[in-house]
Structures are given as structure tokens and as C-alpha cells.
């Protein structure tokens, strides 16, 4: 950096300012410095900047897995939202394991990330306290935790389960199965579904636990097993669209008419859901939008220093800084021909 400063005939601090806060420098010197920068191919050492300023311009995110397209979409939205601002995305996969998440969070904190994005509302106690102590903005996504750490951008999985239950009941189905993973968000949806069915005479629910990450083959296998055992329900609500589509394909093979003999409903509204024959009923969730909303929430907060969610709560009455700390982006029942 000294080389650049010398070449431009200024001091290092001016170079620094041109590269970080151009508006603080006169246009003339700015031009000189920029010219020198280009000539030398100089690139700021962000690590040194991080050490000096305690701001890394890195935001970290933890998702259960990238294999699931829904999380990949959220990361894409987040990444897209962050890109124009110069913030960078550090990524970690927890494999649905809170301990792994804890390890990741630790490292991220050590890297002085400016903010952290988590999936879901279940975290180890140590993660919660460390994050609170760290004072950095935290966003939990993909659900609406009862006791959020800080901010939330999600939707109610419980409500989604209820909505599906009500839809299925309204269509006249009584013998209803759920098939999906045992992760927290699925559990919430099951709880919603169950609460609605339990309140209805004659309605029964059965849950098939499928290993997380099971995709098309798992859905097909379930239908095959049920069909062969002559133990078919009237409707199945799947934990994700891949499972549901796999089931649908298996039904096609076995001549099980959809929705006449079996109703199928998926979750997430992946792109293929609408393309299937028949088009798949599902729950549309704002995968990418959650990522984008998270990005803008974070950017806002990072731009307005000293305003954590708790601070905002404390100052209460002052409306300038107060902002809703939890964003419910909702979901939408996407009823098509399969149910």
C-alpha cells in the first residue's frame, strides 16, 4: 500500500480512504490514487482491515445441507442479496446436527463474521449464549422459533401443517399419512396436521419416518410398500416435493389413480411440482425470498450501528429505530390436481 501511496504522492491513509470511503476524499486525489492502484494492481488486504476495524464484511450461514434444493435456494437468495454490498458469504453445512452447528458457529465467530444466519430455531444452549454475548446480528430462518436469538425470517411450519390438514379434510379425506424426515420443521408440520385431525371425528393420522435426505426413491419405496401390503391411506402429505414426486411416479407404474385413489401433497413447491402429471399439490414456501429478506435485514442493521434487536426493544417508544425483529414471510397452499 505504501507503494501506491508513493506513486500517487499521498500517504497510506489516503489510499485507504479512497478504497473504503471514497466520498471522504476529494475527487482530484481520488483519481490520482485510483490510477496508482490500477497501475500497481494493488489489492487491499482485508484480513488486516478486519483486525484493525473489527469488521470483516463477511456474513456466515449454516444450512442443514445443500443437497436439498430448498436450502440451496435460500443461500442463493442470500448470496444475491449480499453481493452488491460487498459482503461475502461463508458457508457451513450442519447435516441437521446441532453439535456440528455449534462447531461451525464457533469458528465463524473466531473469524469475526459481521452477522450469522442459521436455519431453524433449534440450537445448543452454548450457541445461544455465545451468539447473544457476541452482539452480532443473527437471523434464524425457515421457521418462527418461540424464543428467537435475535431476528427471524421464516414462516410457520405448524400453520402449514394445519392448512394442509384442513384442506385434506375439506376434500373429504379421513385416513391421512405423513411421510418425511424427523427434523424440527417437519415435526412442527406434523404437529399442525395432527392437531387438525385430532379435532375431527373419524380422522386418523399415521406418520412414516423417512431418513432425512431421502428423495425420489424413498417416496417411491414407501408407496410400493404400502401398496403391496394393501395398506394404502387415502392421502399422503410428504415432507418435500421430491418424496411426493417419487410416490407419484410409483403410482403411475402401479396404476394407482391420482387423486381418485390416493391424494398426494408435497412441500416446498419446487419447480417440477407444477410440471408433473397430474400437477402436484404442495405448500409453496418462500425459499429464495427468505434469503433475500435476510440479506436486506442484515444490511440494514449493519448500516445502522448500535441498534441490536434488544436495544430496539429497550428504546421501545422511539419509532425511528424500532423495527420488527421477526419477519413472517408466510406460505401458500398450492392446490393442484393431485389432491
Partner DNA sequence: CTGTTAGCGCGTTCAC
Partner DNA sequence: GTGAACGCGCTAACAG
CB 8 within 8 A of CB 36: yes
> Is residue 45 within the footprint of DNA (CB under 7 A)?
yes
In angstroms, the CA 11 to CA 110 distance is 32
> What are the Cα distances from residue 89, in Å, to 45, 79, 83, 145, 264?
17, 7, 9, 24, 37
Question: Rounded to an integer, what distance in angstroms lies between the CA atom of residue 239 and that of residue 263?
Answer: 14
Residue 107 touching its own copies (CB under 8 A): yes
CB of 63 to its own copies, least distance (A): 10
- Nearest Cα neighbor of 280 from 331, 238, 326, 218 is 238
Stretch that binds DNA, among 48-56, 122-130, 161-169, 301-309 (CB under 7 A): 48-56
| 111 sits near DNA (criterion: CB under 7 A) | no
| Beta carbon nearer to DNA, 14 or 334 | 14
Q: Based on the shown chain and the rule CB under 7 A, indicate whether residue 40 belongs to the binding site for DNA.
A: no
> CA 99 from chain center: how many Å?
19
Q: How far apart are CA 163 and CA 149, in angstroms?
A: 27
Q: What's the rounded Cα separation, in Å, for the pair 170 and 110?
A: 52
Q: What is the DSSP letter of 255?
A: T
Considering only residues 313 to 332 of the shown chain, the ones binding DNA according to CB under 7 A are: none
With CB cut-offs between 5 and 8 Å by kind, which of its own copies, DNA, none does residue 17 bind?
DNA
List residues bridging with 151 in a β-sheet: 139
| 162 three-class SS | helix
Rule CB under 8 A: is residue 48 a binding residue for its own copies? Answer: yes
Q: In the bound complex, what is the minimum distance in angstroms from residue 231's beta carbon to its own copies? A: 22
14 binds, among its own copies, DNA, none (CB under 5 to 8 A by kind): DNA
**Residues 276, 290: Cα–Cα separation, whole Å:** 26
What part of residues 261-280 is at the interface with its own copies (CB under 8 A)?
271-272, 274-277
Residue 277: CB atoms within 10 A of its CB come to 11
Write the interaction track for its own copies spanning residues 110-139; mark x where CB under 8 A is met and - where it is not.
xxx-----------------x---------
Query: Least distance in Å: CB of 288 to its own copies?
Result: 8
> Residue 124 or residue 252: which is nearer to its own copies going by CB?
252
Q: What is the contact surface with its own copies in residues (CB under 8 A)?
A: 41, 43-48, 50-51, 56, 58, 65-67, 69, 72-73, 75-76, 79-80, 83, 86, 88-93, 106-112, 130, 215-217, 220, 242, 245-246, 249, 252-253, 271-272, 274-277
Amino acid at each position: 500500500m505504501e507503494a501506491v501511496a508513493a506513486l500517487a504522492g499521498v500517504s497510506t491513509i489516503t489510499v485507504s480512504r479512497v478504497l473504503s470511503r471514497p466520498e471522504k476524499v476529494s475527487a482530484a486525489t481520488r483519481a490520482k490514487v485510483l490510477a496508482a492502484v490500477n497501475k500497481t494492481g494493488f489489492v487491499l488486504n482485508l484480513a488486516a482491515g478486519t483486525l484493525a476495524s473489527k469488521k470483516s464484511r463477511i456474513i456466515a450461514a449454516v444450512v442443514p445441507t445443500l443437497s436439498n434444493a430448498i436450502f440451496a435456494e435460500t443461500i442463493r437468495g442470500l448470496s444475491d442479496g449480499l453481493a452488491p454490498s460487498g459482503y461475502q458469504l461463508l458457508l457451513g453445512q450442519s447435516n441437521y446436527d446441532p453439535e456440528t452447528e455449534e462447531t461451525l458457529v464457533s469458528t465463524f465467530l473466531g473469524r469475526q463474521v459481521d452477522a450469522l444466519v442459521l436455519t431453524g430455531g433449534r440450537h445448543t444452549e452454548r450457541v445461544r449464549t455465545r451468539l447473544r454475548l457476541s452482539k452480532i446480528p443473527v437471523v434464524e430462518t425457515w421457521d418462527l422459533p418461540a424464543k428467537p436469538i435475535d431476528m427471524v425470517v421464516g414462516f410457520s411450519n405448524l400453520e402449514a401443517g394445519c392448512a394442509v390438514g384442513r384442506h385434506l379434510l375439506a376434500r373429504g379425506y379421513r385416513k391421512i399419512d405423513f411421510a418425511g424426515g424427523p427434523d424440527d420443521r417437519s415435526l412442527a408440520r406434523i404437529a399442525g396436521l395432527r392437531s387438525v385431525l385430532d379435532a375431527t371425528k373419524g380422522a386418523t393420522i399415521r406418520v412414516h419416518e423417512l431418513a432425512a435426505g431421502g428423495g425420489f426413491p424413498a417416496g417411491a419405496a414407501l408407496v410400493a410398500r404400502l401398496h403391496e401390503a394393501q395398506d394404502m391411506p387415502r392421502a399422503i402429505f410428504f415432507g418435500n416435493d421430491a418424496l411426493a414426486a417419487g410416490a407419484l411416479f410409483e403410482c403411475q407404474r402401479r396404476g394407482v389413480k391420482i387423486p381418485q385413489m390416493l391424494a398426494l401433497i408435497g412441500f416446498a413447491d419446487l419447480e417440477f411440482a407444477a410440471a408433473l402429471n397430474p400437477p402436484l399439490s404442495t405448500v409453496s414456501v418462500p425459499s429464495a425470498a427468505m434469503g433475500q429478506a435476510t440479506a436486506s435485514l442484515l444490511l440494514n442493521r449493519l448500516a445502522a450501528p448500535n441498534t441490536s434487536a434488544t436495544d430496539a426493544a429497550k428504546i421501545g417508544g422511539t419509532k425511528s429505530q424500532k423495527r420488527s425483529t421477526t419477519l413472517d414471510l408466510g406460505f401458500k397452499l398450492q392446490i393442484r390436481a393431485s389432491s
